[in-house]
């Protein structure tokens, strides 16, 4: 069955780990699953990702940053996400339109109305059925990233702590405004505990979306 599920969270929240665990669990249950990420997921998107995360581009303006993200997003939706949904797959995306609202909107102070319009254009209005938000204290999350591989520390993570605090508060505001789509989870829990909570929530959604068996 076709379904778009997105993962969001501050830096170091463990999204990548949880999306991989969920993908493997759903595949084991017989679901056709596609894992992808933003920015990236396509050759064009990966090239844009390199520009966006390169610490050399510290002078990149918030507007230029936003437009690069939206270009990568449009390519991903048009060439990967929509075809996968049309083929009946469950698509799991590591970040999506809400990241732009949190980072470029709340973080950089750009108008949310304009960002929503850009996001709607880039995606053709495609919204997730479920957004799993992994919440974590900013300092704890950044310390997790610092302990990771050196190549994982990039331009976005090098922003001041106040920026990341605004991003986190932005995420919480977005989730509070749309509780039907968002599922908030404490990312400070052990990996397997968090995975179990994620899987339980997705299983409920799949059961709700799957048509009842035909009567004989």
Q: Report domain extents, the chain.
A: 3-209
- Using CA atoms, how far apart are residues 68 and 140, in angstroms rounded to an integer? 28
- Using CA atoms, how far apart are residues 206 and 31, in angstroms rounded to an integer? 10
The residue with tokens 């990996």 is 191
Instruction: Tell me the mean pLDDT in the region 10-28.
Output: 96
> DSSP label at 17?
H
What's the CATH number of domain 3-209, 3.40.50.300, 3.30.70.3270, 3.40.50.620, 3.40.50.10540? 3.40.50.300
Dump pLDDT digits (tens) for 56-94.
Answer: 888 899 999 999 999 999 999 999 999 999 999 999 999
pTM for the whole thing?
Answer: 0.92
Is pLDDT larger for residue 139 or for residue 110? 110
CB atoms within 10 A of CB 169: 14
Q: Is the pLDDT of residue 215 over 70?
A: no
CB atoms within 10 A of CB 87: 11
Token couple for 196: 């179990």
């Amino acid at each position: 069955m076709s379904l778009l599920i997105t993962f969001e969270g501050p830096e170091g929240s463990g999204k990548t780990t949880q999306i991989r665990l969920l993908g493997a669990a759903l595949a084991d249950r017989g679901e056709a699953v596609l894992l992808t990420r933003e920015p990236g997921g396509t050759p064009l998107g990966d090239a844009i990702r390199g520009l966006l995360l390169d610490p050399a581009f510290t002078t990149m303006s918030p507007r230029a940053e936003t437009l690069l993200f939206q270009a990568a997003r449009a390519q991903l939706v048009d060439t990967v996400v929509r075809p996968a949904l049309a083929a009946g797959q469950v698509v799991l995306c590591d970040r999506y339109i809400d990241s732009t609202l949190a980072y470029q909107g709340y973080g950089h102070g750009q108008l949310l109305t304009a960002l929503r319009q850009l996001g709607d254009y880039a995606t053709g209005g495609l919204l997730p059925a479920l957004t799993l938000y992994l919440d974590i204290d900013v300092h704890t999350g950044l310390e997790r990233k610092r302990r990771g591989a050196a190549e994982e520390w990039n331009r976005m993570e090098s922003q001041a702590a106040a920026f990341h605090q605004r991003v986190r508060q932005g995420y919480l505001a977005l989730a509070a405004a749309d509780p039907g789509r968002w599922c908030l989870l404490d990312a400070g829990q052990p990996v397997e505990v968090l995975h179990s909570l994620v899987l339980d929530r997705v299983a409920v959604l799949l059961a709700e979306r799957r048509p009842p068996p035909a009567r004989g």
